[in-house]
Chains A and B, each alone.
Chain A
Amino acid sequence: MSKMTIDDLRRVLIECAGETDDGSLSGDIQDQDFASLGYDSLALMETAARITAEFGVQIPDERIAELRTPREVLDLVNDALAQPS
């Protein structure tokens, strides 16, 4: 897996924590706050666990609490993926 895309994240979020009913996840969500998208800290912990399983990137619990937007998650994951292993 070379890169995690916004569509990957969208799918993982829905699998882990369901979708908000107003369809707010379908638009341009890169810079929207997770809280405004309807995802709380537990939803993000669940998402982080799934990202680890799927993309092999560990996100420490204390980092999860700091991630505010989808872009921040993607940057973190893709930076880690770009590191030579």
Chain B
Amino acid sequence: MTEKVYVTGIGLLAPNGVGLERYWEAALEGRTGIGTLTRFDVSGYPIRLAGQIDDFDAAGHLPSRLLPQTDASTRFALVAADWALADAKIEQGAFADYEMGVVTSNASGGFEFTHREFKKLWSQGPGSVSVYESFAWFYAVNTGQISIRHQLRGPSSALVAEQAGGLDALGHARRTVLRGTPMVVTGGVDSALDPWGWVAQISSGRLSPATDPHRAYLPFDADACGYVPGEGGALLVLESAGAARSRAAQHVYGEIAGYATTFDPPAGSSRPPGLRRAAELALADAGLAPAEIDVVFADASGVRELDRAEAAAISGLFGPGAVPVTAPKALTGRLYSGGGPVDVAGALLSIRDGVIPPSGGTTDVPGEYGIDLVRGAPRPCRVRSALVLARGKWGFNSAIVVRAVPAEPAPPSVNTSPSRS
């Protein structure tokens, strides 16, 4: 029997909640993190709403030494990793440095940092550009910085696949654990809310031009008009079941039970998009039938034809209205590489608390979609297994299955209370 891979720690920063429990509270209460972008004057831009993380003081969380060399996205990633490791309560020496890896995803790189340095390049010349630009822009920088900060020297990597990449990181981290590295920190974080990053995002043509924060990003709604981009993400601690057991890990959120990724056929092809196949392959990887999935955390594009395609994939695989579907990202905006890991965290908390969070402001789901979208209020529901979907622009589809871990019987007679006789 193959070793299982557990999630034993989560660190999360989202626009509607900094910290795992604060995010979860906001998701269940339907509190949005979407508002007018305030990092610069957006009044002249066609798109003005974003999911911003406002109550975050990097200097309060990170050493001064790291501040001049990090983009906003890397600061979020470093703090999320700190929190995930603290949550997992991994004590110094529990693992050797080469037994711990880092696998992160990033879609945008260090936009804000690079914007600033490019401005210096053009206005003051090359001598004024920070040497830290050499890595602060880079997609792999979060993996590197987390590795250095916590001395995680095991197999490590970085994946880029737009919004699908965060799930790919989790999938590859699971693979890394199964290949023999007992602990891997994994997930994704993005932020690109400076003027240059903003224009780059607008160029996708998928952003919502709406100005009402509660009606701008309405995945699966008849009024869907695009998505709102956000910043943030989550990092998770994955451990082999054996490692978690032998160090008596305090809590196990669940198992990463299945993963798959597919690529869409080229435009104009008669073949269907790859999302359904990714979901089917992830279920097969987990050894689960569709009827055993209790909830689907959808990619939830908010672009009408993409919503329709995803609804078709879900209703085709599970049957019309046969499984609850949710999109709590309607309250955060799409977080790119952060989106999948935040949804995986949400799915694990759905397992923990027996409740499915609602899908933001979406009210009117076309009947032809054939999906049972959880909306308006959280839905109490026993959740043992969940499917998380993510699609990245340019054809990426990824799927993760998470599963509840049955409570283990108490370990045989290990006396942990100190004897002072």
Chain B residues, Cβ within 8 Å of A16: 68
- Residue A81 at the B interface, CB < 8 A? no
Minimum C-beta distance from A9 to chain B (A): 16
Give Cα distance in the complex from A49 to B134, angstroms: 14
A16-B68, A18-B67, A18-B68 known; A53 and B127 CB under 8 Å?
A: yes
Give Cα distance in the complex from A19 to B65, angstroms: 5
A52 & B64 in contact (Cβ 8 Å cutoff)? no
Main secondary structure of the interface of B (DSSP, over half): helix
Near B by CB (< 8 A), chain A positions 8-30 give 14-21
- Residue B406 at the A interface, CB < 8 A? no
What residue in chain B is nearest A14 (Cβ atoms)? B64
Question: Which of A15, A21, A46, A52 is B63 in contact with, Cβ under 8 Å?
Answer: A21
A46 & B131 in contact (Cβ 8 Å cutoff)? yes
A38 & B131 in contact (Cβ 8 Å cutoff)? no
Minimum C-beta distance from B67 to chain A (A): 5
- Residue B317 at the A interface, CB < 8 A? no
A19 & B128 in contact (Cβ 8 Å cutoff)? no
Chain B residues, Cβ within 8 Å of A20: 63-65
Give the interface size class of chain B: 10 to 19
What residue in chain B is nearest A44 (Cβ atoms)? B131
Give Cα distance in the complex from A15 to B132, angstroms: 13
What mask results when residues 121 to 157 of chain B are scored 1 for a CB within 8 Å of chain A, else 0? 0000001101110100000000000000000000000
B65 & A42 in contact (Cβ 8 Å cutoff)? no
Main secondary structure of the interface of A (DSSP, over half): helix
- Residue B69 at the A interface, CB < 8 A? yes
Minimum C-beta distance from B341 to chain A (A): 28
What residue in chain B is nearest A21 (Cβ atoms)? B63
- Residue A57 at the B interface, CB < 8 A? no
Give Cα distance in the complex from A42 to B65, angstroms: 12
- Residue A74 at the B interface, CB < 8 A? no
- Residue B66 at the A interface, CB < 8 A? yes
B68 & A45 in contact (Cβ 8 Å cutoff)? no
B128 & A38 in contact (Cβ 8 Å cutoff)? no
What residue in chain A is nearest B134 (Cβ atoms)? A42
What residue in chain A is nearest B125 (Cβ atoms)? A53
Chain A residues, Cβ within 8 Å of B130: 46
Chain B residues, Cβ within 8 Å of A18: 63-69
Chain B residues, Cβ within 8 Å of A52: 127
What mask results when residues 49 to 86 of chain B are scored 1 for a CB within 8 Å of chain A, else 0? 00000000000000111111100000000000000000
A17-B69, A18-B65 known; A46 and B132 CB under 8 Å?
A: yes
Question: Which of A17, A21, A38, A53 is B68 in contact with, Cβ under 8 Å?
Answer: A17
Chain A residues, Cβ within 8 Å of B134: 42
Give Cα distance in the complex from A16 to B64, angstroms: 11
What mask results when residues 43 to 72 of chain A are scored 1 for a CB within 8 Å of chain B, else 0? 001100100110000000000000000000
Task: Provide a sorted-by-A list of 5 A–B residue pairs whose CB atoms are within 8 angstroms.
Answer: A18-B63, A20-B65, A38-B65, A42-B132, A46-B130
Report B's interface with A, CB cutoff 8 A. Answer: 63-69, 127-128, 130-132, 134
Pairs of residues from A and B, 6 with the lowest C-beta to C-beta distance, nearest first: A18-B64, A18-B65, A19-B64, A45-B131, A46-B131, A42-B131
Report A's interface with B, CB cutoff 8 A. Answer: 14-21, 38, 42, 45-46, 49, 52-53
